């Protein structure tokens, strides 16, 4: 996982006018193929995807199965058909089960919406009990081939489908040569269990070794307006090799959505209270940055959320941007980014605000 290194944003940003960007609009036919290819694989995705980690209810309370199912359905109805989940999204696969229910795949009923979506899954990370922690569990990275195959088989059973459109190794296992993990993923493609393979939370060295053992279509990494470390290495590597880059954390766990207030605290079951970006002076400076964006959103007649997602989706090399949601209302607000068009004035104002904000800490201590 990412550490707490500081990064100073560049003063000048590459303009989206320098590259060709094709945006899928809500309601446009993006069945299965979307409009942005993932490497040389047969899979393509739209500029926005639904990150299904929040649907597991592990980082904040009050997320019911019914709400999770409704959220997935709302995303598809809004034209967001890239659904990103993982074996470990929930102690018992809650995220995958919600997707199955939303698509009509639960209990083997067969789903009319399966071919209308791209399901991206991940393997190689699972939960184990740990009484010394609160909650009493810990995340374990396990990239052994046998474990990978077992997790994929269980994920397919939970989802009620026979294949994943995109399958990531969730994180490199430092106790297992990455070539062994990659080799098992290649065998899963050969067996028809996956259509494309990706690698998440990895360095350039990891990507190089992985790609030598298995065709690599996508890389998933943290990226947003203020945390852009991948622009120094991973992103150029992906661009140079035609590998799609899927970005998570575009809204910094809700911070860039503009709904947080100074002095805000988080309940015990909300993990955001453990992140440096939500505490002390860092939190205050981040809120100052958000306020600098509001006039831009107002002028463009879009929400702050839509502005941030639209900016992220147009950055060079970014193939798709994952947003989290736990309600149909949140989906609608996020999906509005498909209709938000930035101009040069907006890009310049955003660039100046990023430069003024300065270095941003990483995710969590350790």
DSSP per residue, 111-180: -TTGGGSEEEEEESEEEEE-TTSSSSEEEEE---HHHHHHHHHHHHHHHT-S-BSEEEE-S--TTS-HHH
Rounded alpha-carbon distances, angstroms, from residue 317 to 39, 201, 236, 295, 354: 11, 17, 8, 27, 19
13 touches 311 (CB < 8 A): no
Rounded alpha-carbon distances, angstroms, from residue 310 to 26, 75, 163, 250, 327: 14, 16, 30, 10, 20
292 touches 353 (CB < 8 A): yes
Q: Which of 87, 89, 168, 275 is catalytic?
A: 89
Whose CA is closest to 217, among 314, 87, 320, 146? 320
Would you state the torsion angle of the CA atoms of residues 283, 2, 5, 310, taken in this order, to the nearest 10 degrees? -60
Asked if omega into 113 is within 30° of 0 (cis), the reply is no
Task: Work out the angle between the directed axes of helices 145-159 and 178-190 (0-180°, nearest 10).
Answer: 40
Whose CA is closest to 125, among 176, 191, 55? 176
Tell me how crowded residue 267 is: count the other CB atoms within 10 A of its CB. Answer: 10
Measured in degrees and rounded to the nearest 5, phi and psi for residue 191 equal -85, 0
Measured in degrees and rounded to the nearest 5, phi and psi for residue 126 equal -145, 170
Length of the chain: 366
145 touches 109 (CB < 8 A): no
Indicate if 275 belongs to the active site: no
Measured in degrees and rounded to the nearest 5, phi and psi for residue 293 equal -85, -20
50 touches 325 (CB < 8 A): yes
The residues carrying an active-site annotation are 89
């Amino acid at each position: 996982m990412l550490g707490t290194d500081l990064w100073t944003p560049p003063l000048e940003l590459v303009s989206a006018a320098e590259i060709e960007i094709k945006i899928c609009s809500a309601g446009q036919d993006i069945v299965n193929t979307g409009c942005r290819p993932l490497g040389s694989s047969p899979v393509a995705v739209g500029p926005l995807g639904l990150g299904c980690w929040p649907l597991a209810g592990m980082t904040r309370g009050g997320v019911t199965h019914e709400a999770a199912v409704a959220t997935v359905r709302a995303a598809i109805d809004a034209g967001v058909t890239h659904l990103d989940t993982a074996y470990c999204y929930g102690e018992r696969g809650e995220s995958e089960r919600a997707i199955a229910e939303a698509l009509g795949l639960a209990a083997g009923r067969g789903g009319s919406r399966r071919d209308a979506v791209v399901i991206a899954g991940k393997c190689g990370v699972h939960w184990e009990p740990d009484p010394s922690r609160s909650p009493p569990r810990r995340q374990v990275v396990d990239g052994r081939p046998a474990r990978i195959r077992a997790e994929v088989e269980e994920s397919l059973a939970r989802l009620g489908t026979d294949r994943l459109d995109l399958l990531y190794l969730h994180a490199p296992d430092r106790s297992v040569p990455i070539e062994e993990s990659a080799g098992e993923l290649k065998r899963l493609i050969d067996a028809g269990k996956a259509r494309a393979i990706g690698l998440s939370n990895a360095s350039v060295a990891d990507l190089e070794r992985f790609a030598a053992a298995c065709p690599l279509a996508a890389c998933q990494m943290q990226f947003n307006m203020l945390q852009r470390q991948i622009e120094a290495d991973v992103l150029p590597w992906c661009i140079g090799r035609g590998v799609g880059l899927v970005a998570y954390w575009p809204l910094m766990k809700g911070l860039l959505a503009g709904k947080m207030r100074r002095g805000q605290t988080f309940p015990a079951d909300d993990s955001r209270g453990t992140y440096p970006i939500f505490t002390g002076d860092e939190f205050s400076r981040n809120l100052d940055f958000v306020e600098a964006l509001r006039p831009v959103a107002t002028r463009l007649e879009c929400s702050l959320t839509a502005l941030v997602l639209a900016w992220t989706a147009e950055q060079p090399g970014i193939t798709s941007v994952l947003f989290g949601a736990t309600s149909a209302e949140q989906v609608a607000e996020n999906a509005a980014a498909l209709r938000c068009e930035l101009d040069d004035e907006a890009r310049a104002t955003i660039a100046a605000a990023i430069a003024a904000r300065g270095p941003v800490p990483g995710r969590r201590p350790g």
